[in-house]
Amino acid sequence: MKDNYESYFMDEVEKKILEMEKETYEFPKRFSKKDYIATVVVILVCLIGVIGGAFIG
C-alpha cells in the first residue's frame, strides 16, 4: 500500500513540475501590502477570540 501511494505521489509531483516549467505557466501574483495587512488583522482577531474565550469559559 505504501509503495502505491508513494509512486502515485511522485507521479503527481513530476506532473506539477513539468506544468510549472512550461513557458505558458502563469505564476500567481505576489502578496501585496493589503494582503499582508489583512492576514495580520485576521490573526489578531482570532487571537483575541481565543484569549477572550479563555476568560469567558
Residue 6 has pLDDT above 70, yes or no: yes
- Chain-centroid distance of CA 47 in Å reads 20
What span, in angstroms and rounded, lies between the C-alpha atoms of 4 and 47? 41
What span, in angstroms and rounded, lies between the C-alpha atoms of 55 and 50? 9
Do 12 and 18 meet the contact criterion of CB atoms below 8 Å apart?
no
Q: Where do the domains of the chain lie?
A: 2-56
Question: CA dihedral defined by 31, 36, 42, 45, rounded to 10 degrees?
Answer: 180
Give, for 15, the enclosing helix (H) or strand (E): helix 2-21
In tens, the pLDDT along 10-55 reads 999 999 999 999 999 999 999 999 999 999 999 999 999 999 999 8
pTM passes above 0.75: no
Q: Is residue 2 very low, low, confident or very high in pLDDT (cuts 50, 70, 90)?
A: low
